[in-house]
Amino acid sequence: MPLAMNREVFITCAVTGSGGTQDRSPHVPRSPVQIAESAIAAAKAGAAVVHCHVRDPETGKPARDPALYREVTERIRDSATDVVLNLTAGMGGDLLFDGTENMNRMSARSDMAGAAERVAHVVECRPEICTLDCGTMNFAEADYVMVNTPGMLRDMAARMVASGVRIEIEAFDTGHLWFARQLAEEGIIPDPVLVQLCMGVPWGAPDDLNTFMAMVNNVPKHWHWSAFALGRHQMPYVAASVLAGGNVRVGLEDNLWLDKGVLATNAQLVERAVTVISNMGARVLTPAEVRAKLKLEKRAPVAK
């Protein structure tokens, strides 16, 4: 397939994530105040979209507390900086086991929740976008499965759409795109469809360019897509995504480093992405332009 470079690119900054990075860099935000401030700084640097998880403010461990999401949302909405808000809905499907001889019961470390609970913060906070991890996979650790069954995904997606939030499909492998197309064909995910290609996440799609183009070629032509890769491949994938016709994602969720031995901030990663995109001859879109392109509505959280 001939490449068709994207000349109008939006940047998503994945601000903090849910990985165990909180003690590996002082720049990984933990509290709602820190997460909101880092998101706002990323927006000032050129990110049109900020993708936010929340963490326990004391330990830095991933959390699902709707009150933490609400505080992050309100702080971003109340700031003078405009940005499209994208909240994760990936938590609550973490199935862990205590070794290979105890497979008949899940570990107490598991975090499994029903569809209503998994999207409760989305319904309450009303971001423009929320994520839907579109498949089950072995995920990084030896005894950890990221669980997203077809029934759960249909239920969560229906609740997201009913709340007026645009779904961003998170595709970690080609099969996830296959099921996402099925959801779109069933009318569960309405147009315009938005998808994030997640490259190099063990044990999903590896981040080599052949696999990347296989993922790109499985995205329907009329869908909007972005892509990212982990660690040192984050910034090369900015160029690869733009060249292949997509948008880009950077941020501390996926990569802690600006250069070898130099820990990054979210704003610095966005600034670097802006430079790459601009030097390729493309233009970075504003939040208002992204809302128009994706038919998004900026709303305040549900009143208490």
pTM for the whole structure:
0.96
Angstrom CA distances, 241 to 99, 134, 202, 213, 219, stand at: 39, 20, 20, 10, 13
pLDDT in tens, 74-123: 999 999 999 999 999 999 999 999 988 888 999 999 999 999 999 999 99
- pLDDT attached to residue 1: 52
The answer, yes or no, to whether residue 170 has pLDDT greater than 70, is yes
pLDDT value for 140: 76
Q: Quick one: three-class SS letters along 27-89?
A: CCCCCHHHHHHHHHHHHHHCCCEEEECEECCCCCCEECCHHHHHHHHHHHHHCCCCCEEEECC
pLDDT band at 2 (very low <50, low <70, confident <90, very high): low
Determine the average pLDDT of the residues in 176-193.
Answer: 97
